[in-house]
Amino acid sequence: MSETIRNLSEVAELLRVARSVVVVTGAGVSAESGIPTFRDALEGHWSRFNPRELATPEAFAENPARVTQWYDERRMAALACAPNAGHEALARIEQACTARGAAFVLLTQNVDKLHQRAGSRNVVEVHGSITRWRCSRTGECFDELPTPFPSYPPPSPSGGLLRPDVVWFGEALPDHALNAAAKALRECDLYFAIGTSGVVWPVAGFVLSAKAAGAATVEVNLTDTDATYEFGLTLRGPSGAVLTALADAAGGAP
Ligand code: OAD
């Protein structure tokens, strides 16, 4: 922890002077809200399910009832959770950045909407949203939906079946998200990866783009990851406590 305390003051100074901040978040940021991560042993989503049987277009085609029921259970769990201190600290940091005219973009891999519920404004959901569902026939999206669905698979108002508007294995990220991320990464001078194992592409490559733009890079995580060697600085500890300390140190108004 002593290295993290030393690094915290350095990162807070970087944050105070940054002109363009990009933050990437993963499931670790929502873990303290009670939402399981994907790859952590025991509690992780994937530890009890085979993602290839649930999070692919093929799985949906083969068994739409099973896939939509699993995602609806995750949707209901997300709606029942509350943003944690880490989400709130990121909203404070964004406010402090924009108040002094700096750019701030939050690229989240999470589909739980907790960043938005905590007050983050410039959020790009690179893996979609579990609270938004899409017609499998027309592509039309719907946010106002029964909670939970009365039956599975849920019928779409426009004639097909409803599927979660999330990115499945084998699917491309939405163009708007990729374009927003590419622009933000080209311009950033400070890059954070928070609560992500950094193994799923293309998000795993974002740190390389940030470094190519000359950005300082910071990894916030409980532990080292396979991507840690790419980062100039690390802050080790639970994201709620670390981000709150960072927002306080950098002067983000509570
Ligand atoms: P993972 O489960 O792969 O990684 C979670 C990371 O969060 C790990 O590195 C943990 O060490 C860290 N972590 C856990 N609790 C934490 C805490 N309290 N504070 C800080 N860090 C903590 O989740 P992601 O990296 O988000 O994709 O997974 C990336 C993508 O893989 C997901 O978006 C999903 C999955 O396939 C799609 O669904 C397309």
pLDDT tens for each residue of 42-72:
566 666 677 777 899 999 999 999 999 999 9
Other CB atoms within 10 A of residue 211 CB: 16
Tell me phi and psi for residue 20, to 5 degrees. Answer: -155, 110
172 is written with which tokens? 């491309």
User: What's the CA gap between 203 and 196, in Å, rounded?
Assistant: 10
**How high is the pLDDT of residue 46?**
62
Q: From atom 30 of ligand 1, which residue's Cα is the shortest distance away?
A: 200
**How high is the pLDDT of residue 43?**
60
CB 112, CB 83: distance < 8 Å: no
Confidence of residue 26 (pLDDT cuts 50, 70, 90): very high
**How high is the pLDDT of residue 49?**
72
Choose the catalytic residue: 45, 115, 127, 176.
127
166 is written with which tokens? 């999330």
| Lowest-pLDDT choice from 1-15, 53-67, 90-104, 201-215 | 1-15
Indicate if 127 belongs to the active site. Answer: yes
89 is written with which tokens? 């600290």
Rounded to two decimals, the pTM is 0.95
Q: Write out pLDDT tens, residues 223-253.
A: 999 999 999 999 999 999 999 999 999 985 5
Q: Measured in angstroms, how far is the CA atom of residue 19 from the centroid of ligand 1? A: 27
Q: Measured in angstroms, how far is the CA atom of residue 138 from the centroid of ligand 1? A: 31
| 3 state SS of 110 | coil
47 close to ligand 1 (CB < 6 Angstrom) = no
User: What's the CA gap between 117 and 229, in Å, rounded?
Assistant: 33
Is pLDDT at 38 greater than 90 in this prediction? no
Q: Measured in angstroms, how far is the CA atom of residue 93 from the centroid of ligand 1? A: 21
**How high is the pLDDT of residue 110?**
98
208 is written with which tokens? 């390389």
